[in-house]
A = this chain, B = another copy of it.
Amino acid sequence: MESAATDAELDSLVQDAIVWASQHGLVVGLGGTAPPAALIHAPLSLLPVAFPASRFQQAKAAMTTFNTLIDRVAADEGYLFDTLELAGQQDDFTGRLLQLLQDSKPARAAAAAAAGAKEVVLGVHRSDYMLDAPSGGFLQVELNTIASSFACLSSITSQLHHYTLQRLAAASSSSSSSDAAAAALQLLSASRLPSNAALQGICRALAAAVVAAGGPGAVMVMVVQPGERNAYDQQWLQHTLWTEHGIVTRRLTLAQIPDCLQLQPDAAGAGSRLVFADSGTPVGLVYFRLVHHVVADSGTPVGLVYFRAGYTPNDYPTDKEWQARALIEASTAAKCPTVAYQLAGSKKVQQDLAAPGVVERFMGQQQGADLRQLFAGLWSLDNITEPTTAAVIQDAIQNPDRFVLKPQREGGGNNLYGPELSAALQQGLAAGGDSLAAFILMQRIVPPPQRSVFVRGGAWGEDESLSELGIYGTFLRVGDEVVINEEVGHLVRTKTSSSNEGGVAAGFAVLDSPLLSEPGEGLLPPQLDGSSGSTAAAAAAASWGESGGVLAAARALLQQQQQQQQQQQQ
């Protein structure tokens, strides 16, 4: 059994990877009772995961179109109000965001009407996908328009895998290679890792927005959750904004903002600028997961408010947090996102865009068709007596494993699957009316499992895995001019196939990166590898973990190395 013999070699690669991560800032807070400054390597996958090259390129290429779509949807406030009205009644969070959009209209109109005034709108989005075995490509899971995280740690993970594949190649290159080892070396070539400069790309957009809206000397306010554990991902943005663009970041919680920031009428009459409060008294700024009292730069203009919090109702325990949103929305500072952008990224809008003709109305037939290839089936439950909806509901009750029931509100964590999904739909039908309007029904994506080495807290284990791909996009509009519309990088998160939910920060998933492959090379799962849907293919899928995929190729290389050494000694 080769796996036992190569476990020792894998272990040494893991230890190398842990040290590399610790040296290069691929870290998270240790948490628990440790000192707040204590760290540990981020949860990682030792090796990259195989993705079909053409499908990866398709997802990347679509990102600038998604950026444009969000901007057009957000600009169509009538559409937002119509689409979200019912959801807003069902869900208090969506309702308050809609109210904020309504209430800020006069301030936004005044700013727009002033001479020379130009609205600055920044989008930093991440479109998330999973591979779907039945369709053979990526299907969109969700499109995040607020607080898209892990761009920085993901960029460093791509570098780590570059390093790991080079170590692996070097470990085997000293042997005179067999054909099998040569093939494995070629499959695991570091040149198959797409470059990933998400950190640099996002900072470029943040910096441009700060300057466009705030002018020289303006700072970025990063809105953070109190006690953020993933602060190192955020700190990399701050660090790069400073070293590459000379821009200072201030971290504030929503609750601190009404005391720390204030509106100041612009000298030219073009709306109200957002500046640090002029009290001169110390205000609390959040550094490094701790709250410290420092003297703020009173009067300093805020060019951009960048939200890494505020996407879940839990971030608004009191009215003060809503006051913060209102203050920001009424200012001429760039917001990433605006309330309109946040609503444009809601699951309800995502579902509506998937309905026949809707995305086409915003993007035209050609681009609409391009995006639609990446949409999973999505059904509104606003009108459960409408014949199509009623049929889908019955289908889902009968075949719950082909569907996901998602709550309309943001923040995740409460998706329903299987028997729970059936039960919730049946209860909804029994209650009647709009009792299911707070949910949307979604085609369940069926990703083909692969095998991964999970490295967490200094320990590792091998398991069957599922991976999710995120593509980052940046979009900056100043007035009518689109200054930036870019796809800037990617994120891969991998979790064990036995877990339905969970992210990196919650400890379920690990950071990963893609290794691009063509069908027929043996790296991709058989469901994606050009095999037919026969029972032979099913058998191939069952045994594939032993002989195919990235981990199997790595083991083949290490095994080959051992055999060479043993032969040399005989």
A217, CB-defined interface residue at 8 Å:
yes
A11, CB-defined interface residue at 8 Å:
yes
Q: Which of A32-40, A394-402, A494-502 contacts B (4 or more CB under 8 A)?
A: A32-40
Known contacts A27-B22, A235-B23, A298-B569: A35-B292 contact under CB 8 Å: no
Closest residue to A243 on the B side, CB-wise?
B163
CB proximity to B under 8 Å, residues A105-156: none
**Is the beta-carbon distance between B298 and A232 smaller than 8 angstroms?**
no
**Is the beta-carbon distance between B22 and A30 smaller than 8 angstroms?**
no
**Is the beta-carbon distance between B39 and A27 smaller than 8 angstroms?**
yes
**Is the beta-carbon distance between A12 and B299 smaller than 8 angstroms?**
no
Main SS at interface, chain A = mixed
Type the 1/0 row for A275-287, where 1 means its CB is closer than 8 Å to any CB of B.
0001010100101
A458, CB-defined interface residue at 8 Å:
yes
A297, CB-defined interface residue at 8 Å:
yes
A246 to B169, CA, bound (A): 12
Known contacts A25-B23, A30-B38, A34-B30: A287-B15 contact under CB 8 Å: yes
A5 to B457, CA, bound (A): 41
A389, CB-defined interface residue at 8 Å:
no
Chain B residues, Cβ within 8 Å of A294: 8-9, 11-12
A37 to B224, CA, bound (A): 27
Closest residue to A5 on the B side, CB-wise?
B295
Chain B residues, Cβ within 8 Å of A40: 35, 37-39
**Is the beta-carbon distance between A38 and B39 smaller than 8 angstroms?**
yes
A19 to B40, CA, bound (A): 13
**Is the beta-carbon distance between B299 and A35 smaller than 8 angstroms?**
no
A568, CB-defined interface residue at 8 Å:
yes
A565, CB-defined interface residue at 8 Å:
yes
**Is the beta-carbon distance between B458 and A23 smaller than 8 angstroms?**
no
**Is the beta-carbon distance between B458 and A36 smaller than 8 angstroms?**
yes
A239, CB-defined interface residue at 8 Å:
yes
Q: Which of B15, B293, B569 contacts A290 (CB 8 A)?
A: B15
Closest residue to A287 on the B side, CB-wise?
B15
A358, CB-defined interface residue at 8 Å:
no
Closest residue to A562 on the B side, CB-wise?
B295
**Is the beta-carbon distance between A15 and B239 smaller than 8 angstroms?**
no
A566, CB-defined interface residue at 8 Å:
yes
A287 to B299, CA, bound (A): 52
Chain B residues, Cβ within 8 Å of A243: 163
A390, CB-defined interface residue at 8 Å:
no
Count residues of A near B (Cβ-Cβ below 8 Å): 59
A311, CB-defined interface residue at 8 Å:
no
Q: Which of A8, A9, A11, A19 has the largest count of B CB atoms less than 10 A from its CB?
A: A19
Shortest CB–CB separation between residue A279 and chain B, in angstroms?
Answer: 9
Type the 1/0 row for A226-259, where 1 means its CB is closer than 8 Å to any CB of B.
0000001001101100110010100000000000
A72, CB-defined interface residue at 8 Å:
no
A458 to B39, CA, bound (A): 11
Shortest CB–CB separation between residue A406 and chain B, in angstroms?
Answer: 36
Chain B residues, Cβ within 8 Å of A335: none
Known contacts A22-B39, A27-B22, A288-B18: A8-B569 contact under CB 8 Å: no
**Is the beta-carbon distance between B8 and A293 smaller than 8 angstroms?**
yes
A373 to B8, CA, bound (A): 54
A316, CB-defined interface residue at 8 Å:
no
A170, CB-defined interface residue at 8 Å:
yes
Chain B residues, Cβ within 8 Å of A60: none
A294 to B294, CA, bound (A): 51
**Is the beta-carbon distance between B280 and A235 smaller than 8 angstroms?**
no
A interface with B by C-beta (< 8 Å)? 5, 8-9, 11-12, 15-16, 18-20, 22-25, 27, 30, 34-41, 163, 167, 170, 174, 217, 232, 235-236, 238-239, 242-243, 246, 248, 278, 280, 282, 285, 287-288, 290, 292-295, 297-299, 457-458, 562, 565-566, 568-569
Q: Given contact pairs A9-B294, A38-B38, A38-B458, enumerate 18 new A-B contacts (beta carbons under 8 Å).
A: A8-B293, A12-B292, A18-B37, A19-B232, A23-B25, A23-B27, A23-B236, A25-B25, A30-B30, A35-B458, A38-B39, A39-B40, A167-B242, A278-B569, A280-B566, A298-B568, A298-B569, A299-B568
A selection of 18 A-B contacts at a CB cut-off of 8 Å is A8-B295, A9-B294, A9-B295, A12-B287, A16-B287, A18-B37, A19-B238, A23-B236, A30-B30, A35-B457, A37-B40, A163-B243, A167-B242, A170-B248, A174-B297, A280-B566, A295-B562, A298-B569
